[in-house]
Amino acid sequence: MKISILRHIVVCVLATTSLLHAQSANHSAVKPAPRPEKNWQDRAKLLDQRLKDTPDTELLFIGDSITEGWEGKGAKEIWAKNYDRRKAVNLGIGGDRTQHVLWRLTNAPLDGVKPKAAVVMIGTNNSNAEDNTPGQIAEGVTAIVRKLRERLPDMKILLLAIFPRGENFNAQRGKLAQINQVLAKLDDGKNVLFLDIGHHFLNSDGILPAEIMPDYLHLSAKGYEMWADAIEPRLSELLGEKK
């Protein structure tokens, strides 16, 4: 009788655990999804074509508007200086969330490229209001890392902590900090390297200067230069470049 009751308890616990796991994975941040806007679809097609036109690329940048911003005034000169020689391809689309990047990576023509490394920074758009919890966003970024490992197993991933946003201390910064703490666990010391450069953008009093992020989210040319300088040592190492 006691054994029967014990078995029943174990079955119930396992069933509850499975249900909770299924519920945790049943959210927008991990479900690959395209966006309906024509400008997004046009941009996605453009990026796919970039991959096809650059089969010898050594480096990918993957993300949202902050990554797409490398093509903006001032930033594109910094890109040319640091990444043209590496045949880098910018795969950023403004407004993207983890689910949109997942969809793009699932459908992108990656079979024709063999990049040595990718710089990944995504998730800030999922953090708006109550759209996704910190745990859900972390799961979304984790799914992206897994998809990249699946499709490009020989490529190294430089996973960046989500940049701070907002001029002063705020709840959203706290949300991002929680996500980054989890993302740091993805660093395996071999294929995935985590790097938090967010502190470079802040003053000693925690203020995010407008000269670095004019709208306290998107970088100025100075901000992009700081980004490039902050990741260069680790990126050069991942690319196997001689010092």
Which amino acid, residue 9? I
**Is residue 225 in a domain?**
yes
Q: Which of 28, 65, 131, 236 is catalytic?
A: 65
The reported pLDDT for the residue numbered 37 is 97
Range of the domain at 175: 2-238
Q: Is the pLDDT of residue 182 over 50?
A: yes
Instruction: Select which of 42, 84, 215, 229 is catalytic.
Output: 215
Q: Does residue 243 form part of some domain? A: no
Is residue 218 annotated as part of the catalytic site, yes or no?
A: yes
What share of the chain in percent tops pLDDT 70? 89
* 46: confidence class by pLDDT, cuts 50, 70, 90: very high
77 domain-assigned: yes
Q: Is residue 188 a part of any domain in this protein?
A: yes
pLDDT in tens, 230-241: 999 999 999 999
* CA–CA separation, 146 and 70 (whole Å): 25
* Residue 10 confidence (pLDDT): 40
131 is a domain residue: yes
Nearby residues of 224 by Cβ (< 8 Å), 6 or more positions away: 69, 70, 74, 75, 78, 79
Which H or E run includes 105? helix 98-107
Within a domain: 221: yes
Q: Taking 50 as the threshold, does the pLDDT of residue 17 lie above it?
A: no
Specify the pTM. Answer: 0.89
Per-residue pLDDT at 114 exceeds 50:
yes
Q: pLDDT tens digit string along 154-176?
A: 999 999 999 999 999 999 999 99
Residue 31 has pLDDT above 70, yes or no: yes
CATH assignment of the domain containing 78 = 3.40.50.1110
215 catalytic residue (yes or no): yes
Identify the three-state secondary structure at position 91. Answer: strand
Q: What's residue 62's pLDDT?
A: 98
Number of alpha carbons in the 13 Å side-chain half-sphere of residue 143 = 25
- How many CB atoms lie under 10 A from the CB of residue 16? 10
φ, ψ of residue 149 to 5 degrees: the values are: -65, -35
Whether 36 shows a pLDDT value over 60: the answer reads yes
pLDDT class of 27 with cuts at 50, 70, 90: very high
Return the CA Rg of the chain: 20
Cα–Cα distance, 5 to 209 (Å, whole number):
62
User: Is residue 94 exposed (0-12), middle (13-18) or buried (19+ Cβ within 10 Å)?
Assistant: middle
Structural domain count of the chain: 1
Set 64, 96, 100, 218: catalytic member = 218
